[in-house]
Structure 1
Amino acid sequence: MCNDDLDAITKELSSLQEVLHNSDSLDVILDTYERMFVLIYKGMGLTKRVDQQCHLLSLTSDGTIVKDSLGDPVTQPFVMNSKL
Structure 2
Amino acid sequence: MGSYDHGNALAEVLTWLPNDGSTKLSLIDPWRDTLFNEQEAEVALKEIPDLLQRCSDPRHAAAVQDLEQLLRACSRTPGSYLWFMSD
TM-score (ref. length: structure 1): 0.43
1 or 2 for the larger relative contact order (CA 8 Å, sep ≥6)?
2
Q: Which has the larger radius of gyration?
A: 1
